Structures are given as structure tokens and as C-alpha cells.
Amino acid sequence: GESVGLHLPTLSVQEGDNSIINCAYSNSASDYFIWYKQESGKGPQFIIDIRSNMDKRQGQRVTVLLNKTVKHLSLQIAATQPGDSAVYFCAENKAAGNKLTFGGGTRVLVKP
Amino acid sequence: EPEVTQTPSHQVTQMGQEVILRCVPISNHLYFYWYRQILGQKVEFLVSFYNNEISEKSEIFDDQFSVERPDGSNFTLKIRSTKLEDSAMYFCATQIQGNTEAFFGQGTRLTVV
């Protein structure tokens, strides 16, 4: 069953340090794995995606790593800034244009 | 930058009443979705809509829910007879064909009392 609760895992990170957010997924048939950022009072915002046939993809200050052997996805944020404070969700979908299945979120708090 | 617009931002309704949540998608997007997020929980898929029909729906999307695109621009979610457990943030999302990036609106906070 799904875990339900009001408390999200929280990652506290010093401004300027690197952040690593982890996610375990269950559906091996997913074609895409995506990271979304949700700031307070806003909708999820796309950060970066990775296709299932890749193991690493880099964006601006972000890197996504995919380990299909252990069904693990991570998001690395370099030089974390106060504006990075948000809840981060991993998501998966079977193909472009299909629904997103979201995982549980991780709250990132950036300390000045 | 183009954005998905949702109205209202907050809706309070009495249990048993009908509500309609509205979304204006980004103009050249072809895939439309509704998701909901109960406070403190993850985002859950409700329904996807493509080519003027439902392409997929979740278990949550029962007979009390319906979607339509009445005028070719607005995309609406109707809940016929609201229940307390329908209280949540409802997000509209749209995608351009062939692209994985879904653009989410700011959400409508629905409170059923």
C-alpha cells in the first residue's frame, strides 16, 4: 500500500553545498523518469528528465542519475541556492504524452 | 513564457454541491491532464484527455467526475456531488505532443465543508 502522512523526508543543506535527492521507483516499464520541483503554493515545475536507456543526464546545475539495476533515481543540485528550497518529486511515465506517476516528495531546505 | 492558467484559485463548497474547475491550457498543447494533491501527500493522476476524449483515467476518477473542453480552449473538471475527501489541490497540466515536459497550472484549492 501507499504510505500516507503529512511529513515529508527533509534534506537540510548549506547554501553553496551540493544536494542529492533520491528516489526509488517500481515500474521497470517506464520510458522516462522526471524530476519536478514544487514551491509552496505552486504547481510542480519540470526540472529535468532522463530516458530509460540512459544512466546520466546533465542540465544547468542539475544532474540526474538512473540506476536501473536497483531501480534508483537521483537528482544532484550543484551549489544549492536559497531559491532551490522546495519539495522535489520524482515521476515516471511510459511514454511522452502519457500520465505521470509521482513518487513521494523530498523537502529541501537551504540554510544561509 | 506561456503558462497554464487555472480558476478559481480557491473554492469552498458544501458537501453534495457541484463544482467546476477551469483550466486554460497553453495554446499549442494537445495533451491535457488533471491531477490532485491532498495536503502533504504526493501528486495523483486523475485523468488524461487527448483529441477531445479521455485517454486514461485513474480509480479516483469515478462517475462523480467528468472533464470536457466545451469551447475548444477551456478544459474543465466537474465534480458532481462533492465529498469531504475531495478536498485537495487540483492541478491542470498540459503537454505538447511528443514532449515529456508537462506544464502545471498554479492549482485550485478545493475545500469541501
For B89-108, the DSSP string reads EEEEEEE-TT---PEE---E
Q: Which residues of chain B have pLDDT under 50?
A: none
B48 interface with A at CB cutoff 8 Å: yes
> What pLDDT shows up at residue A26?
81
- pLDDT recorded at residue A98: 83
* Model pLDDT, residue B10: 97
Chain A residue with CA closest to B98: the answer is: A96
* pLDDT score of A97: 64
Q: What is the pLDDT of residue A3?
A: 34
Long-range contact pairs involving B42-50 (C-beta distance under 8 Å, separation at least 24): B42/A89, B42/A102, B42/A103, B42/A104, B42/A105, B43/A44, B43/A89, B43/A91, B43/A100, B43/A102, B43/B91, B44/A102, B45/A99, B45/A100, B45/A101, B45/A102, B46/B77, B46/B90, B47/B77, B48/A98, B48/A99, B49/B75, B50/A97
| Residue A80 DSSP one-character state | -
pLDDT of residue A111: 95
The interface residues of chain A toward chain B in range 50-109, judged by CB-CB distance below 8 A, are: 89, 91, 93, 96-105
Rounded to whole angstroms, the Cα distance separating A112 from B22 reads 39
Given a cut of 70, the residues of chain A with pLDDT beneath it are: 1-7, 96-97
From chain B, the residues in CB contact with A3 under 8 A are none
CA A40 to chain B, closest CA, distance in angstroms equals 10
Question: What's the CA gap between B112 and B17, in Å, rounded?
Answer: 9
Q: Which pLDDT belongs to residue B97? A: 77
Question: Is residue A32 classed as helix, strand or coil in its secondary structure?
Answer: strand
Gap between the Cα atoms of B112 and B92, Å rounded:
19
pLDDT of residue A7: 59
